[in-house]
Chains A and B, each alone.
Chain A
Amino acid sequence: MSIADSSVQPDLSPVLSDGGQAEAAPAPGVSAWQLARRRLKRNKPALLFGALFFLLVALALAAPLWAQIADTTPAKNHLSDTIVVNGKSEQVVTFDGVPIAPTFQKKFFLGADSNGRDVAVRLLYGARNSLFIGITAAIITVLLAVMLGTLAGYFRGWTDAIISRSLDVMWAFPVLLLGVALGVSLALGGLQIGPLQISGGSKWIPTLIIGFVGVVYLARPIRGQVLSLREKEFVEAARAQGAGPIRIMFGELLPNLASTILVFFPLLVANSILLEAALSFLGAGVQPPEPSWGTMLSDGVELLSTAPHLTIVPGLMLVLTVLALNVFGDGVRDALDPRAKVRLEH
């Protein structure tokens, strides 16, 4: 895993070695899925953080509501405005360019940035972009990885050779360098995929890049799992009944990959959000004036000495979101890959 300092490392712990199947002799009538659900239910921290993530998503969806309350938009400047805080009239941005700190009232609840924009409103709109990119990129990763991994594992031979060697080559790039290189190169010229034209400033560019660079993490384990699944009796049976490759892949293999995908998904979203922040921080992600947590941090760090809230607020929001996903993802993994099993005789 070559990521360098972008923590874009899904924790490749060995769920995958046994495909997430609980093998400890289960009580009769309890499926592996039911056991996993029961285990997850017992894992209170995981559930709590999972709920926190959905709360954050709900907040992001409610962004326009707060914008209405704060009576502004994410892009609107209030450079020359003054507001009343604790009975005192204060400038939103002083003549020295210092923005107001959090007021904890309707307007500028979390302060303003150096352009006099409402941080709370931008934070919520930024959440929309960051979460959109994180989730969409993770979906893209899953789709591509499942496609490549399944093709390589099912057909083997030269299909596998081409896919695996290509993944090796991608593996050789530090993720952040690759992401930034693509980001810079595409931000300049945009991208043309068939009839689809994506302009340089679109947030689809970082989304596609992040989705793309994540594929190496997931495609390999999926390929490995498909390689072992295709030898299983139920696949043999389907083949004997005359099922073609497509039906076997969708009907037999895909359902068995579900637990792997489920385990990876929250972690992929977490890592995509972090990578978005890193790319935006470097100027190769979401392009201003669109807010995202990464661009907000990028602006904020410059002003750390005068307006620390511009760094701390979006940073905490980001850490909280990623942490929530990581803890929840961890719980899902533990539920699907119980290590608590007792060794009896073989």
Chain B
Amino acid sequence: MGRFVARRVVGMLLVMFAVSVLTFLIFNVIPNGDPADRMAGKNSTPVQIDAIEKEWGFDKSLPVQYATTMEKVFTGDLVSYYTQTNVAEQIRRGIPRTFALAIGAALLWFAMGTALGLYTAIRAGRWSDTLVTVLALIGVSMPVFWLGALASYYLGFKAGLFPNGGYAEIGEEGLWEWVKHMILPWTVLATLFIGVYSRVLRSNVLDTINDDYVRTARAKGLSERRVMIHHVLRNSLIPIVTLWGLDFGAVLGGGAILTETVFDLDGVGQYFAESIGTLDVPPVLAVTLFGAFFIVILNTVVDIVYAALDPRIRLS
């Protein structure tokens, strides 16, 4: 197991390196035109652009440019030329908000997705299965920002059941206020994932249920409940955990851009969204890397958890 973990960590570092190279290419090489011009953002003066050109070394070779860019990102002295703010500081400010959204929603969708997936698989073919399947399909067919905007406006603003967006600090406004602010964002973000997870789990369960060891478990005289949970669900969940790790990583890394924006949570994702609006490249670059790193890290954690869940993996 130790060697397995070590190998995964080395692999993770390699992927991180590749991710940083790709990000660098996306922003500095693939597009046409002068990178300094793009970096400077809208409303920049030729003097500024010249200064950026020098500072970032856009006249130097690509490896040097890459090194300079990464140095700027990781030492935390990347600035947005458009808003004149430090990018790392902005990200740091957004992290607790993004994490609050991500953790709550991820737990919600995992629990609900598993419960509904198992339920529909057991009832496969009955009307309750059809009903949940239809709801799940509607859930995955809705743009999250649309659902969020409608929920926030009608349930929050009009009905007054929830605050109309915004984030409440636990330290300042108390736990209850915080929860009240988070319920809608959690639910809206989780809705679509619940749709996906319940369907993936349903089909995993329907596959697993035909496996030979499930037949063995029945032949052992176990209760149906024990067969379902200990053998069918236990084995069906393994691929779901992988999926969950990746999605959770994406949301943690600011990937819930749309949810954060519609509910005005002001997290990392919203910072990203606002920077897009002004075509402000440095924050977009930094958050892209930030998000990708979270996924890579979570992916590694998931691989290790996966190995703990499925003893066969450790060998290969």
Give A residues with C-beta under 8 Å from B.
1-7, 9, 11-14, 17, 165, 168-178, 180-192, 270, 274, 277-278, 281-284, 297, 301, 304-305, 308, 311-312, 315, 318-319, 322-323, 326-327, 330, 339, 343
Which of A2, A13, A186, A284 makes the CB contact (< 8 A) with B295?
Answer: A2
Q: List 21 A-B contacts (CB under 8 A).
A: A6-B258, A7-B144, A7-B195, A7-B196, A9-B196, A169-B22, A172-B15, A174-B250, A174-B253, A177-B250, A178-B26, A181-B285, A183-B276, A185-B38, A186-B30, A277-B143, A281-B258, A284-B276, A315-B142, A315-B146, A319-B146
Q: Are B31 and A189 in contact (CB under 8 A)?
A: yes
Which A residues touch B257, using CB under 8 A?
Answer: 4-5, 176-177, 180, 282
Residues of B19-39 contacting chain A, CB below 8 A: 19, 22-23, 26-27, 30-33, 38
The smallest C-beta distance from B257 to any residue of chain A, in angstroms, reads: 6
Bound-complex Cα distance A312 to B142 (A):
12
The smallest C-beta distance from A190 to any residue of chain B, in angstroms, reads: 5
Which B residues touch A343, using CB under 8 A?
Answer: 210
Q: What residue of chain B has the Cβ atom nearest to residue A297's Cβ?
A: B146
Q: Are A191 and B279 in contact (CB under 8 A)?
A: no
Which of A177, A284, A308, A323 makes the CB contact (< 8 A) with B288?
Answer: A177
Bound-complex Cα distance A274 to B31 (A):
25
Which of B27, B157, B253, B299 makes the CB contact (< 8 A) with A181?
Answer: B27
Q: Are B31 and A169 in contact (CB under 8 A)?
A: no
Q: Are A190 and B32 in contact (CB under 8 A)?
A: yes
Given contacts A191-B31, A192-B32, contact A297 B258 (CB under 8 A): no
Which B residues touch A281, using CB under 8 A?
Answer: 143, 145, 258
Bound-complex Cα distance A312 to B243 (A):
32
Bound-complex Cα distance A17 to B210 (A):
14
Which B residues touch A180, using CB under 8 A?
Answer: 257, 272, 276, 284
At the interface with chain A, which of B49-57, B80-88, B167-175, B200-208?
B200-208
B281 CB–A CB distance under 8 Å = yes
Q: Are A319 and B138 in contact (CB under 8 A)?
A: yes
Residues of B248-276 contacting chain A, CB below 8 A: 249-251, 253-259, 261-262, 269, 272-273, 276
Most central of A175, A181, A327 by chain B CB within 10 Å: A181
B184 CB–A CB distance under 8 Å = no
Q: Are A4 and B15 in contact (CB under 8 A)?
A: no
Which A residues touch B276, using CB under 8 A?
Answer: 180, 183-184, 282-284
Q: Are A189 and B38 in contact (CB under 8 A)?
A: yes
B231 CB–A CB distance under 8 Å = no
The smallest C-beta distance from A281 to any residue of chain B, in angstroms, reads: 5
Q: Are A323 and B137 in contact (CB under 8 A)?
A: yes
Which of B33, B142, B243 makes the CB contact (< 8 A) with A188?
Answer: B33
Given contacts A172-B296, A190-B33, A304-B153, contact A5 B259 (CB under 8 A): yes
Bound-complex Cα distance A170 to B26 (A):
12
Bound-complex Cα distance A96 to B153 (A):
20
Which A residues touch B27, using CB under 8 A?
Answer: 181, 185
Which of B200, B247, B277 makes the CB contact (< 8 A) with A3?
Answer: B247
Q: What residue of chain B has the Cβ atom nearest to residue A173's Cβ?
A: B292
Residue-by-residue, is B224-263 near A (CB-CB < 8 Å gives 1, otherwise 0)?
Answer: 0000000000000000000100110111011111110110
Q: Are B31 and A185 in contact (CB under 8 A)?
A: yes
Complex A-B, nearest 9 residue pairs according to Cβ-Cβ distance, in ascending order: A4-B255, A189-B31, A174-B255, A189-B33, A174-B250, A322-B141, A2-B250, A323-B141, A13-B203
Bound-complex Cα distance A186 to B281 (A):
11
B149 CB–A CB distance under 8 Å = yes
B118 CB–A CB distance under 8 Å = no
Which A residues touch B22, using CB under 8 A?
Answer: 169-170, 173
The smallest C-beta distance from B37 to any residue of chain A, in angstroms, reads: 8
Q: What residue of chain A has the Cβ atom nearest to residue B158's Cβ?
A: A305
B78 CB–A CB distance under 8 Å = no
Bound-complex Cα distance A323 to B146 (A):
15
For the A-B complex with A7-B192, A185-B38, A301-B146 known, give 14 more contacts whose Cβ atoms are closer than 8 Å: A3-B247, A6-B144, A7-B195, A11-B200, A172-B292, A182-B30, A189-B32, A190-B33, A191-B32, A270-B141, A315-B146, A319-B143, A339-B203, A343-B210
Which A residues touch B204, using CB under 8 A?
Answer: 14
Bound-complex Cα distance A168 to B12 (A):
11
Q: Are A1 and B32 in contact (CB under 8 A)?
A: no
Q: Are A185 and B30 in contact (CB under 8 A)?
A: yes
Bound-complex Cα distance A11 to B256 (A):
19
Which of B199, B249, B259 makes the CB contact (< 8 A) with A13?
Answer: B199
Given contacts A281-B143, A284-B276, contact A4 B18 (CB under 8 A): no
Bound-complex Cα distance A308 to B210 (A):
49
Which B residues touch A176, using CB under 8 A?
Answer: 255, 257-258
The smallest C-beta distance from B288 to any residue of chain A, in angstroms, reads: 5
Which B residues touch A12, using CB under 8 A?
Answer: 200
Which of B18, B143, B145 makes the CB contact (< 8 A) with A165?
Answer: B18
B13 CB–A CB distance under 8 Å = no
Given contacts A168-B15, A172-B292, A189-B32, contact A177 B145 (CB under 8 A): no
Q: What residue of chain B has the Cβ atom nearest to residue A182's Cβ?
A: B26
B140 CB–A CB distance under 8 Å = yes
Which of B138, B143, B203, B291 makes the CB contact (< 8 A) with A177?
Answer: B291
The smallest C-beta distance from A1 to any residue of chain B, in angstroms, reads: 6
Given contacts A5-B251, A177-B272, contact A13 B143 (CB under 8 A): no
B287 CB–A CB distance under 8 Å = yes
Q: Are A174 and B196 in contact (CB under 8 A)?
A: no
Bound-complex Cα distance A190 to B189 (A):
32
Q: What residue of chain A has the Cβ atom nearest to residue B153's Cβ?
A: A304
Given contacts A185-B38, A189-B33, A323-B141, contact A2 B279 (CB under 8 A): no
B150 CB–A CB distance under 8 Å = yes
